[in-house]
Amino acid sequence: SEKTYEHLLVSSPKPGVGFIELNRPKALNALCTPLILELNTALRAFQADSTIGAIVLTGSERAFAAGADIKEMKDLTFSAAYGNDFIESWSDLVTFLKKPLITAVNGYALGGGCELAMMGDILYAGPKAVFGQPEIKLGVIPGAGGSQRLTKAIGKVRAMETILTGDNISAKQAGEWGLAARVFETPKECVDGALATAEKIAGYSQIAVKACKEVVNKSQDLGIREGVEYERRVFHGLFGSKDQKIGMKAFAEKGKPEWSNE
Ligand code: HXC
């Protein structure tokens, strides 16, 4: 995280917390390929850093991200898009990341910006957050998971309406529909709230945190029976960890656990 980036600000403002701010203000954080590649690099560095337990991703007050970079895409051909797996670098963002990612959304989260926000494990919204999948207005469709993740988050009829009309979803609506876990009263409270939640998570056993994320994510892919069985196997496995002994011993002795992360 000592590396400097062209389109990101990367820091660790609290113990155990990695913080990434999208920083391409002139284009409202439009997600050009160099930005996405930098984001991959920064997330991988936090993933590899054993002192980091959770990560917060945010944009600016005006825009989390106004989408994929339309100027970069406008002359793209089918053969280049298909041949070079355009957008494939985005899917990496979620599949390799085992540590919790909290996305703190203020301002526009449109198209690829909305999709990026939904790739996080927990989504927090500021009062002026605006979500939407406006690709229909550009003659295309969501391309980084929007049709799948938005539908899982808010249900088919709401997602269908959003994606077919290109209309925006307000912060209030996002909270009511369960797209955002929490809606804050100011942009700063949104980011601070995300950092506080990340700090809390980073204070737990990293083994247990990793397992929590893994089993909750399985619920998105498995049926209830296989999901519950999968959860039980992982639960059983945790009795092989030192931190299970440390956590339960501390409770029984009315003490405070000192996690070993083993
Ligand atoms: C490239 C963008 C951009 C984008 C904004 N900008 N969004 N550049 N790609 N997605 C640039 C503008 O061109 C402008 O640059 C500057 O940022 C400021 O934007 P304005 O439009 O002047 O600001 P404002 O009038 O406040 O309007 C804000 C806005 C509007 C409503 C968010 O910018 C907008 O509609 N943006 C596009 C939103 C969108 O369609 N997103 C989906 C993209 S498709 P200049 O140089 O003129 O000052 C997508 C597909 C995903 O994401 C597929 C998989 C990844």
- What is the distance between the alpha carbons of residues 186 and 39, in angstroms, rounded to a whole number? 26
Residue 1 has pLDDT above 70, yes or no: no
Tens-digit pLDDT profile for residues 43-96: 999 999 999 999 999 999 999 999 999 999 999 999 999 998 898 888 778 788
Among 70, 82, 119, 147, residue to substitute to test ligand 1 (most atoms within 8 Å of Cβ): 70
Give catalytic residue positions: 68, 112, 115, 135
Kindly write down the DSSP assignment for every residue of 72-132, as one continuous string.
HHTT--HHHHHHTTTTHHHHHHHHS--S-EEEEE-SEEETHHHHHHHHSSEEEE-TT-EEE
Ligand 1 pocket, residues with Cβ under 6 angstroms: 27-28, 30, 66-71, 87, 108, 110-112, 134-135, 138, 142-144
Tens-digit pLDDT profile for residues 162-219: 999 999 999 999 999 999 999 999 999 999 999 999 999 999 999 999 999 999 999 9
Q: Atom 12, ligand 1: which residue's CA is nearest?
A: 27
Report how far ligand 1's centroid is from the alpha carbon of 95 (Å): 27
Tens-digit pLDDT profile for residues 116-164: 999 999 999 999 999 999 999 999 999 999 999 999 999 999 999 999 9
- What is the distance between the alpha carbons of residues 100 and 11, in angstroms, rounded to a whole number? 16
Domain 8-202 bears CATH identifier 3.40.1190.10: no
Q: Where are the domains of the chain?
A: 8-202, 206-252
Q: Specify whether the CB–CB gap between 86 and 132 falls below 8 A.
A: no
pTM: 0.97
Report how far ligand 1's centroid is from the alpha carbon of 161 (Å): 21
206-252 — its CATH code? 1.10.12.10
